Structure 1
Amino acid sequence: MFIDWAEQIRCIDTTLSKRHLDLDPAGYFIIYIDPQEGYIYAKWFTNAIDKRGLALDPSTGQPIPARGGVKREPNHIFRGRTAKELCVEIFEECHTFQPVSQLGHAAYLGREFLRAEMALVQGTAYTQD
């Protein structure tokens, strides 16, 4: 019997990507790669969470849209050549502030950093999930 493991993995990921997630009150990250430099970047932004669970811009109190529309300056920019390097910088060496307060958020970031690293290695595009 042939088992298409890649298809099973895609189905699991698709299903899990649709689950509800509470936003991290410590903030959120925009992740991208720069193939010319060979770096993964993680821009960290603070936010406030309202009683409905929506992320608000702390300076305006307005909801932050999930896609485009708002230009904000990041509170900090992390960069690394590998997922491990970024994780060490954010979770082990960042002592002046706490950019992540939820284990689920930390796990998500680790997965995304690995996806970004693989895109750099393979020379493919990366889009944050």
Structure 2
Amino acid sequence: MTDLRQKIKQIDDEFSKRHIDLDPGGYYIIYVDRENQLICAKHFTNVINDKGLAVDPETGKVIPAKGKVNRTAETLFTGRSAKELCIKVIEENPDCPITMLDHAAYLGREFMKAEMALIQGIEYIQD
């Protein structure tokens, strides 16, 4: 089983290196709230500039992909499972800002990773 895990990790690591277009509808910071046993997703707005970079609509500054950014989330979504969170973010949200199918698929994968981390008591790191 370890060989299969390593093979899948290698495949996923390669796919993580590919170019992706950013969603003009915004981005999500996902984390696990262990105390309340929840998966959380903070939604932030952005604008995509002519170079394809996410920009803070208030300041006009590029939002870095790594590191701490002091911004206020537009909305906080929480769920006890990946499925519940997907339903809240996409199906029950009449103002769902997700405009790209690959972004929706990415969120589903990340919500599942967060759910597994919550169940297994391991660290969750958003890809």
Alignment of 1:15-30 (within 5 A): 15-30=14-29
For 2:82 and 2:116, the matched residues in 1 are separated by: 9
Match of 1:114 in 2: 112
Match of 2:96 in 1: 98
Segments of 5+ residues of structure 1 without an aligned counterpart are none
Match of 1:126 in 2: 124
For 1:66 and 1:6, the matched residues in 2 are separated by: 27
After superposing on structure 2, the runs of 4+ consecutive aligned residues of structure 1 that deviate more than 4 Å are: none
Alignment of 1:1-129 (within 5 A): 4-95=3-94, 97-129=95-127
Which has more radius of gyration? 1
Q: Report deviation, 1:67.
A: 1.7
RMSD: 1.4
* CA deviation map 1:73-97 (0-9, x unaligned): 00000000100000001110001x1
Q: Percent identity?
A: 54
TM-score (norm 2): 0.96
Q: Is the 8 A contact 1:55 1:63 kept in 2?
A: yes
For 2:75 and 2:97, the matched residues in 1 are separated by: 9
Q: Report deviation, 1:3.
A: 8.9
Cα distance change on mapping 1:63 and 1:122 into 2, 3 Å: same
Count residues in correspondence. 127
- One-letter amino acid of the structure 2 residue matched with residue 40 of structure 1: I
